[in-house]
Chains A and B, each alone.
Chain A
Amino acid sequence: MKMAYRPSEESTVNLPELHVRTSTFNQETAPAESEPDVKMRVEHLNVYYNAFQAIKDASLDVPNNRVTALIGPSGCGKSTFIRALNRMHDLQPGVRVEGKVMLDTEDIYASSIDPVSIRHRIGMVFQRPNPFPKSIFENVIYGSRIHGQQNGRVLAEIAERSLQRAALWDEVKDRLHKSALELSGGQQQRLCIARSLAVDPEVILMDEPASALDPIATSKIEDLIGVLKKDYTVVIVTHSMQQAARISDYTAFFLMGDLIEHETTSAIFTKPRDKRTEDYITGRYG
């Protein structure tokens, strides 16, 4: 598998020498481990809010069992992009999505695909922790119940396993039947992660999962992401470049709806190819 970057039309036009540089670059910085498979492949994605085009012809490969970070200044379309990956835009009238999003070999926007089954396979954690106003236990097993699991013992096992994976078990095991809304913000967010894990997704999308949290809670979430990538493919939107640098293997940089650059995180942060990426990373704007 070659490096998961395919230039958009615009960057091909602007930077004709790009392909040459990419290939030499890859050889130099390719990770020692073997290249991961592609879990999701986005092809020529366009997203419109009514007449406004929020994503312009973005193509991106998401490698399996890796963390891919989406960075860029506010309003660059990174959240719009990630919400297109599990068809969350379907819920909002006035949003139109064009292009292909392949999960393994299936296009999740194909007419034969049920978006409900897609969201079962591609979980999502949101910017603000959004536990349901139910008990901690009911939150975790919500998805399993929805998918028909009724056996109390199985549900209890799922709850314990998921909470342990989300590094929350020890903190809540004595109050599983208390309201989830009594937890702190950081605990609530880990509960939301546990809730996603409980339905055994293949991909976990995280839309700025730590932006509403304090530094300690943030570092817990970051540690957790590092563990999760062993079993899952993670895509994370973050406004913090430090966070992207700390936790991700690949980084994609968005600017005003364009996917400017997509590379290994170390490459993006040490040798950005595009001037705009460099400007952003060095803090010239955003």
Chain B
Amino acid sequence: MAVTSAALARSRNNALVQRRITDRMATVLLWSAAIAVIVLLAFFVGYITYLGAGAISWHFLTAPPSETNAGGGIGPEIFNSFYILILTLIFTTPIATAGGMYLQEYARPGAFTSLVQFCAESLATIPSIVMGLFGLILFVNVFGWKFTALGGALTLTILNLPALMRVTQEALVSVPQSYREGSMALGATKWQTIRKVVLPSAIAPITTGIVLIAGRIFGETAALIYTAGVSVSAGKSAYDLNPFHAAETLSVHLWYTHSESLVPDADKIGNGSALVLLAMVLLFNVAARLVGRALSKRLTAAT
């Protein structure tokens, strides 16, 4: 009896040691993964800042680009990046949130819903260059718009619709069913329930989704080369609100100066553009999050 219980205690002790080692290893592994990500990120940001800082000047940030001479700026490109982003979000946000809402709240599971879901997911996997060529055919050639900000924005809309729809769906799934029941049990209609309880609770994750997509739009190049073009507007000013004029964005410009352009200071412009792009994405991220939080706070009255 004594022997067996001692043996039992020993084996239990061994098992405990084993488990403790595994636990320690898992912790170390996850820690190093997290640190690797942070180090990588810090390296990128640091390197881009190091290379780009020298190029930044007021002139660089505001002047129009130059085709052949050194000293061109990126002013209109910054403007175009925001312009196309806003246009795209104006198209994408309502369609995608409505679509996601339909799929999550209204559609009964069935063949049609599955088909819509399948189409959306397939759309999400199409490479952006293919989307760009599609935009070239449709907006530039068939519609005859030539290279336009609107064509670029619509191409990006198609490109980003599925992702934002998915995000909306996920955000709605995360709203507890009990909120819906509580609202319906008070005699609210479905739409009242969605508008007054479900959407306010889902606004924060939807905003996060919009921010992520905005980052992609800022960075998108392939889909814009053949739709919004590689030159800034040839109108009266390069800062042009006309959606039917060409609108080269900053990331397209970055690609262009490094691959096609004839300017002697392409490297400098590229490095500067990269830094500005990075800063823009970060800035937009922070701003959108603040707006999202304020909105969510207002709608849910959480103080």
Contacts and interface: CB of A to CB of B under 8 A. Distances in A.
A123 B302 CA distance: 26
Given A93-B108, A179-B301, A86 B185 contact: yes
A135 B301 contact: yes
Interface in A199-225: 199
Contacts of A91: 180-181, 184
A178 interface: yes
B69 interface: no
A133 B200 contact: yes
A177 B298 CA distance: 12
Interface in A115-135: 116-117, 119-121, 123-124, 126, 128, 130-135
Contacts of B196: 142, 145-146
A142 B192 CA distance: 10
Interface residues of B, number: 24
Given A93-B109, A124-B185, A147-B187, A177 B179 contact: no
Interface residues of A, number: 33
A66 interface: no
A130 B303 contact: no
A124 B181 CA distance: 9
Interface in B149-190: 176, 178-189
A197 B303 CA distance: 26
Interface in A126-178: 126, 128, 130-135, 138, 142-143, 145-147, 177-178
Per DSSP, chain B at the interface is helix
A133 B302 contact: yes
B185 A123 contact: yes
Interface string A229-250: 0000000000000000000000
A88 interface: yes
B301 A143 contact: no
A116 B183 contact: no
Given A93-B108, A142-B183, A142-B196, A133 B201 contact: yes
B300 interface: yes
A181 interface: yes
Interface string A85-120: 010100101000000000000000000000011011
Contact of B186 (A93, A143, A178): A143
B187 A143 contact: yes
B183 to A, nearest CB: 7
A260 interface: no
Contact of A132 (B108, B109, B179, B303): B179
Nearest to B297: A179
A196 B181 contact: no
A88 B176 CA distance: 16
Interface of A: 86, 88, 91, 93, 116-117, 119-121, 123-124, 126, 128, 130-135, 138, 142-143, 145-147, 177-179, 181, 192, 195-196, 199
Given A91-B181, A93-B108, A133-B300, 19 more contacts: A86-B185, A91-B184, A117-B187, A119-B184, A126-B182, A128-B178, A130-B176, A130-B182, A132-B179, A132-B182, A132-B300, A135-B303, A143-B187, A177-B301, A178-B303, A179-B302, A179-B303, A196-B186, A199-B186
